[in-house]
């Protein structure tokens, strides 16, 4: 195994934990749907996390030929993957809390929105520091939108605006899968 493959296995494990947590949360949500109001934001956020994981993994893989494994690389790897685990754990309330998923989202939305933007911000900052610059064209617009939508939503408590903004993110992420 190459050094990249070792790090990639570590990265995949972290992202896999986040994906498993989201899928487990979806299963709990489905099971409890008659007892607890599901709402709109939590399922969309869960979709954002799953698509974000896929985009992060694809981006990481695309750079496999130019990445140098070292302490800096391991730190960036952790900082881009761990926010997904954090969001995946935070987005679903603990069993027995009896709170609607929509209310839970709005109570914790700032942390979750920062968590959606953080992996992209870390990746882009690292690319700049590493001398790869900021991409132009579609890829540059993709990264800008992935960062700006969640950060813009931090500044409004308006539920409708948050729902609309949150709903836009998966469309951008799906487009990003094909970049």
**Predicted model pTM:** 0.91
What is the Cα–Cα distance from 50 to 14, expressed in whole angstroms? Answer: 13
Domain that holds residue 169: 3-177
Within its chain, how far is the Cα of 52 from the centroid? 4
pLDDT tens digits, 74-127: 899 999 999 999 999 999 988 767 789 999 999 999 999 999 999 999 999 988
- pLDDT class of 136 with cuts at 50, 70, 90: confident
Q: How many domains does the chain have?
A: 1
What is the Cα–Cα distance from 38 to 19, expressed in whole angstroms? Answer: 19
Query: Does the pLDDT at position 5 exceed 90?
Result: no
């Amino acid at each position: 195994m190459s050094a990249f493959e070792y790090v990639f296995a570590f990265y995949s494990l972290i992202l896999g934990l986040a994906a498993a947590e989201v899928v487990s949360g979806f299963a709990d949500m489905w099971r409890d749907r008659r007892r607890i109001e599901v709402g709109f934001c939590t399922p969309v956020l869960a979709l954002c996390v799953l698509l974000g994981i896929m985009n992060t993994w694809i981006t990481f893989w695309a750079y496999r030929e130019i990445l140098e494994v070292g302490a800096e690389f391991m730190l960036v790897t952790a900082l881009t993957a761990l926010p997904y685990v954090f969001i995946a754990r935070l987005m679903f309330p603990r069993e027995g809390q009896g709170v609607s998923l929509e209310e839970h989202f709005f109570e914790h939305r700032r942390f979750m929105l920062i968590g959606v933007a953080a992996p992209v911000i870390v990746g882009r900052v690292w690319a700049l520091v590493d001398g790869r610059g900021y991409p132009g064209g579609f890829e540059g617009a993709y990264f800008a939108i992935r960062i700006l939508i969640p950060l813009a939503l931090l500044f409004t408590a308006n539920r409708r605006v948050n729902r609309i903004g949150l709903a836009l993110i998966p469309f951008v992420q799906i487009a990003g899968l094909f970049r």
